[in-house]
Amino acid sequence: MTLKQILYDLYPEEDAKKAEGFLMSYKFHEHLDLCLKIIRQKLLNEESEINQHGVIQLSAVASSLLSGVNEKIRLLELNENDQFILQILSDISSKIFEYILKSSKSNKSVLINQISIALHDTCLIFNYNEDKLFEFFKFRQMQHYANILLNNDKINNPINPKDLRFYHWKGNKTNKQNFIALFYENQLITKSSKKSIYKLFEPSFEFLEIELMPENIRITMTLFYWLKKKKLLIPSGYGGFYKPLKQHIIGFSQNIIENKSVGYYSDKLKKNHSEWLNNTNKVEKWLKDLK
C-alpha cells in the first residue's frame, strides 16, 4: 500500500488530493512515504524474518514513524486553522497500523505488543506524552485488538440453548446468500468462522463462537448499525437488536464494546467523522443491491 492509496481510501478524491498537497507543503510526505516503503519491503520478506525471529521486525520503523511525525509537529507553530493537518496525520497513522495488521502473517498479538513496547520506549527517550501520542496515532485501538486476539475469549455463559438468539434476514430472500458472503469476502470475520456465520442468520440452538477480524471491527459494527437502521435484520425473541452478537461473537461485550452499551460504542465511531463517512459509504455500496 502506498501513501496515495491510503489517502484515496480515507477520503473522497478531491479531499485526498488536498490532503496530499498539505502533506507536501508541511513536509510530512517524504517521511511517511519512506516509512511505508520500508514496511512494504519487510512484508515482502516476512517469511524470512518469521523463520529467523519468530515474528516480522517492525518495531524500529514504527518508532521512526512516531518520532519523525512528532518531531516535525513540534517544529510547526500550528494555529487553529492548521489543525486539519493533525487529523490527516492521525488518520494516516491509524491506516498504516491497520495495513500492517491486515497484511502480516505474524502472530498479531505478539506483533502489536512488540510495537507497543518500542513506542513506549521511544516516548520515554524523547520525553513524549505517551497517552496523548498513543491516542493521536490511534494505537490504543491496536492494543485493544491485540488483547482480543491474545485473550480470545470463548463463550462459556451457561445459557439455555432455547434462549439463544439469531437474526431474521428481511431483505430480498434471493440475496440472503450474497449478504452473508459480505462477511468473509470483506474479511470481517476470521476464516474459521465462515461456517458459523451462516447459522447467525437462521434458527439455531448452539453457541456459534464467531470471531471478528480485529482490524475490521469498526466497519463491521458500522454495518450492523445500518442493518438495524434500514431494518434489514430483525433479532429473534427479546433482548434487543444486538443480543445475537453478545451471545455469539467472541469477546463482544468485554473486549469490543468494553461492557458499555452498543449505542455508546456507535457514538464513539461517529466522532471520527472521516472514518465514519468512509465506512458508511462502503456499507451502503455493499447493501445497495441486497434490499
Which cell goes with 222? 458500522
Q: Give pLDDT, residue 154.
A: 44
| Nearest residue to 108 via CA among 211, 197, 2 | 211
Q: What confidence tens digit (pLDDT) does each residue in 137-161 have?
A: 777 766 666 665 555 544 444 556 6
Q: Which string of b and e fits 116-128 if b means at least 16 CB within 10 Å?
A: bebbeebbeeeeb
Q: Give pLDDT, residue 78.
A: 67
Q: Which of 40-44, 60-64, 251-255 has the lowest mean pLDDT?
A: 251-255
pLDDT for 9 beyond 70: yes
Q: Give pLDDT, residue 63.
A: 92
| Nearest residue to 115 via CA among 97, 138, 135, 91 | 97
Q: Give pLDDT, residue 153.
A: 42
Q: What is the mean pLDDT of residues 184-188?
A: 92
Which residue type sits at 196?
A: S
- pLDDT top residue among 140 and 251: 251
pLDDT for 164 beyond 50: yes
Q: Give pLDDT, residue 291.
A: 63
Q: Give pLDDT, residue 144.
A: 65
Q: Provide the mean pLDDT of the chain.
A: 86
234 pairs with which residues across the strands? 168
Contacts (Cβ under 8 Å, ≥6 apart) of 218:
269, 275, 279
Place of cell 524474518: 49
- pLDDT top residue among 123 and 151: 123
pLDDT for 178 beyond 60: yes
pLDDT for 290 beyond 80: no
Percent of the chain residues topping a pLDDT of 70:
90
Contacts (Cβ under 8 Å, ≥6 apart) of 212:
188, 189, 190, 220, 249, 250, 256
Q: What Cα–Cα distance (Å) separates residue 240 from each residue in 118, 231, 243, 272?
A: 42, 13, 6, 26
Q: Which of 39-48, 81-90, 217-226 has the lowest mean pLDDT?
A: 81-90
Through-space distance between the first and last CA atoms of the chain, rounded to whole angstroms? 33
169 pairs with which residues across the strands? 233
Query: pTM of the entire structure?
Result: 0.55
CA distance 133 to 66: 8
CB 87 within 8 A of CB 274: yes
What CA dihedral angle connects 200, 202, 206 and 209, to 10 degrees? -10
Q: Give pLDDT, residue 155.
A: 41
